[in-house]
Amino acid sequence: MLSDEIKQDIQNAYRKFLEQKELKARYGQRLMIAEVARGLGAIDTDDNNERTGDPAVVVVEAGTGTGKTVAYSLAAIPIALRSEKRLVIATATVALQEQIVDKDLPDIIRNSGLKFTYALAKGRGRYLCLSRLDHWLDSHEQEHRQADMLAEQGYHIDINDEHKALFANMLDTLARGRWDGDRDSWPEAIEDPTWRIITTDHTQCMGRRCGNYDACSFYKAREGLEKVDVIVTNHDLVLADLALGGGMVLPHPKDTFYIFDEGHHLPDKAINHFAHSTRLHATSEWLGQLDKTVTRLHVQHPLPGEVGALLEKAPELARSLREHQQFAYATCQGIAEFAPVGNSEYEQPRHRFAGGLVPDALREQGLELKKGYMQLADVLSRMVDHLKKAMEDEGDSALDSSLAEEWFPLFGSLYSRADSNLALWSSFTAEDAAEAAPSARWLVLTDSGNDIEVNSSPILAAETLRRHLWYAAHGVLVTSATLTALGRFERFSMRAGLPASAATAAVPSPFNYAEAGLLHVPDLKVDVRDQDAHSRAIVRELPGLLDNDQSALVLFSSRKQMNDVFEGLDREWRKRVLIQGRLSRQETLQKHKSRIDAGETSVLFGLASFAEGVDLPGDYCQHVVIAKIPFAVPDDPVEAALAEWIEARGGNPFMEIAVPDASLKLIQACGRLLRNEQDTGRVTILDRRLVTQRYGKALLNALPPFRQQID
């Protein structure tokens, strides 16, 4: 039962927040606060302040304009403080993460009377590794000295100085205290290949044994996390922490309330996190390099004892594994019929194993590879342990600390890749439980047919989230503007494996859709399944549909149709169109806004990524045109395997997957129109299946309640 103290804290914070900002309470926002308070504020605990009983999970769909960040913060923060727990807010996008940290939480502190501290948590890869930066600069300086010596003897060597100025500037700025080592706070964008030179991962990081530990940007940021009440991060970091058992970077799950904003992404994020892949030829080449590198180290530094034995054994295992990799490559070529997928976003030929069942010949090769990588990972892991001990002047005295520090990043990296391959082959050769959803397993031809990528992935996140999140956490809130499909939570519940005790609620948007917007379904007098005829009809009708609009967003389900429509338009009309892919997403949206600000007409052509997360309030988007119902092309191997499994169990994949997924995407696309309570405009859907097909009525009824015009 919700305690009087928590109830009073929440009511006082909300009342003061509204008074300070001179706002009126929103009905949906009040409902959301109440749902969060009921679900997370009355958790039974034992003498150790740990949750007892069923998982405490609340799922709230909050329509656009509800003000859900304020709602869940004003409810969850007092609950966490009173419960002596930490609050972790996780988002799917950087934009929302930055908004919460830079705008929403400071605003709540200023206006609600709540006293709490907060910090932003990022993964190690977002921070500079000072040791790697020092190493690069020292190596570069040494290269110059060697080049100068050779120049005196009449030899000339070109040295690439591409990164020298940037890296030297970084070191100087860091030393002056004008930069914290966070990639996102560096004033200019840093390309991924450049950043990879000077960052690291957990397998190569020496932690407290590193000479730069006290100045480490990542550990300084991590130390700050232990002192705050609220941590803002992303879904991926939370899932990575949970996969390791929790408490590695973030607070332990049993001591944590989690809020997953943009929570409709959570199941897919969890699937991706536990998916594995490897390229056979590329990995074979890596094994050959491992053989040469470790053999050279063993020759240059013949060490006694177990360290010497490990240095000798690793190349032997690599050579054996390389043979099995080559056998597996030949086996894949012999059994797989690679066919083009036909989706413009996934053009590489692929072969999916029906039911996730791998042929015996390949499974036998996979089991041999699993066995070999288990041995190699064990050898490299033991080597890493010896290096750690040597860096602390412990263990094998034959391995001095300076050599250990030099070798540690190399062997950490080798172990990480071996362990990754072990995970892939373990998943690829596993026998799925009879009643459980099988894994999807497939092969892809890459590098113009010169390599084969082996993939294995769960098809549902249900079991993963049950084990690592719902039953492990003290309490969880999942929220988004789009969690229901066809007005129900069944789709999300199936994919996320929600526990039976989960509470679900949909709170309304404050927008008056009937007054603010019109939903129009014209009759183009073509069959949308004939894409060429449909594209010609759009070319014919689109200029007239947008004739009175200064701004519009036209959304397509395929890149081919988007390009065909663009090329079919009159040259003068094309000048007003900004088409996705010609510039970066940010540049495209900025150029569109600049045109509108200058009083010009601008039309955005976009694909699925423009149907979600694009914020174009007011005059920036007066009309949303949706070319067709966004049914997924059935070529994604995970979705295809899920459909196959549902059908094998007597279900209807179209009605259970395709239609609910399309409903969700349609709602997201329509959500681009009204971004605040003052917005008005139109949505036009150029697909008559909404009114001619049996499922169309369900899709139409699930859309926001605009006024409707059906031709």
What is each CA distance from 32 to 38, 103, 469, 503, 505, in whole angstroms?
A: 10, 20, 22, 12, 8
Rounded to 5 degrees, φ, ψ at 526 are -140, 160
Q: What span, in angstroms and rounded, lies between the C-alpha atoms of 160 and 183?
A: 23
Query: CA nearest 503: which of 80, 74, 60?
Result: 60
Distance between CA atoms of 264 and 492, rounded to whole angstroms?
7
**CA distance linking residue 583 with residue 586, whole number of Å:** 8
Spatial neighbors of 263 by CB under 8 A, at least 6 apart, are 59, 478, 479, 480, 483
Asked if 556 contacts 588 with a C-beta cutoff of 8 angstroms, the reply is: no
Count of CB atoms situated within 10 Å of the CB of 451:
17
The values of phi and psi at residue 209, to 5°, are -80, -10
Element (H, E) at 119: strand 118-120
Question: Are residues 399 and 444 in contact, defined by beta-carbon separation less than 8 angstroms?
Answer: no
Residue among 476, 464, 481 at smallest CA distance from 501 = 476
Strand ranges for 497-572 from DSSP E: 503-507, 517-521, 551-555
The single-letter code of the amino acid at 315 is P
pLDDT at residue 541, rounded to an integer: 93
> Which residues pair with residue 682 across a beta bridge?
518, 623
The neighbouring-strand residues paired with 439 are 458
- Using CA atoms of 319, 325, 326, 330 in order, give the dihedral in degrees to the nearest 10: 160
Residues of the chain below pLDDT 50: 343-346
SS3 of 288-320: HHHHHHHHHHHHHCCCCHHHHHHHHHHHHHHHH
Handedness of CA 543, 684, 538, 344 (dihedral sign): positive
By CB neighbour count within 10 A (0-12 exposed, 13-18 middle, 19+ buried), where does 697 fall? exposed
pLDDT at 223: 81
* DSSP calls for 523-541: --SS-TTSHHHHHHHHHHH
pLDDT tens profile 680-697: 999 999 999 999 999 999
Query: Rounded to whole angstroms, how far apart are CA atoms 668 and 672?
Result: 7
Q: Which two tokens stand for residue 327?
A: 């056998």
User: CATH homologous superfamily of domain 4-117+228-272+461-507?
Assistant: P-loop containing nucleotide triphosphate hydrolases (3.40.50.300)
Confidence (pLDDT) at 341: 62
Integer Rg of the chain from CA: 28
Q: Is 409 exposed, middle or buried (0-12, 13-18, 19+ CB in 10 A)?
A: buried
pLDDT score, position 63: 87
Amino acid at 701: N
Residue where the block lists tokens 């605003």: 107
Cβ neighbours for 360, distance < 8 A, ≥ 6 positions apart: none
From the list 51, 66, 199, 63, the residue with the least C-alpha distance to 131 is 199
| pTM for the model | 0.86
Question: CA 158 to CA 61: how far, in whole Å?
Answer: 60
CATH superfamily of 513-710: P-loop containing nucleotide triphosphate hydrolases (3.40.50.300)
Please write the tens of the pLDDT for every residue from 302-312: 888 888 999 99
Same fold, 4-117+228-272+461-507 and 513-710: yes
**649-686 tens-digit pLDDT:** 999 999 999 999 999 999 999 999 998 888 999 999 99
What contacts 24+ positions apart, CB below 8 Å, involve 239-245? 239/269, 239/270, 239/273, 239/468, 240/123, 240/273, 242/468, 242/469, 242/472, 243/273, 243/274, 243/468
Cβ-contact 114, 108 below 8 angstroms: yes
Q: How far apart, in Å, are the Cα atoms of 597 and each of 286, 566, 594, 620? A: 53, 24, 5, 9
| Chain center to CA of 351 | 25
**Cβ-based neighbour number of residue 707 at 10 Å:** 13
Task: Name every residue whose Cβ is closer than 8 Å to that of residue 155 and which is 6 or more positions away in sequence.
Answer: none
Residue ranges covered by each domain of the chain: 4-117+228-272+461-507, 128-195, 276-455, 513-710
503 contacts 667 by C-beta, under 8 angstroms: no
Distances (CA, A) of 568 to 139, 525, 543, 574: 56, 18, 11, 9
Closest CA to 174 of 217, 221, 219: 217
CA 43 to chain CA centroid, nearest Å: 30
